[in-house]
Amino acid sequence: MSSRRKRRQGAPMSSAGLVRFYEEENLGLKLKPGYIIAVAGIFSFIIALAHFGII
């Protein structure tokens, strides 16, 4: 047998790693991309108003 074949590691036989990744993905705050864009636009507008001395 070649040394390459001896060093080769097999894949895990269970899906425990995939299940754990899926569970961790469900944690946290979920926002739609449109909300993020709207908040960024409003924030930019307020900064522009402050820059011109309006507020």
pLDDT, tens digit, 9 for 90 and up, residues 1-55: 555 555 556 555 665 555 555 556 666 788 899 999 999 999 999 999 999 998 8
Length of the chain: 55
* pLDDT given for residue 33 in this prediction: 94
Cα distance between residue 46 and residue 53, in whole Å: 11
Residue 44 CB neighbours (<10 A): 10
55 Cβ contact list (under 8 Å, min separation 6) = 46, 49
Query: Which residue spans within the chain are E strands per DSSP?
Result: none
* pLDDT given for residue 28 in this prediction: 76
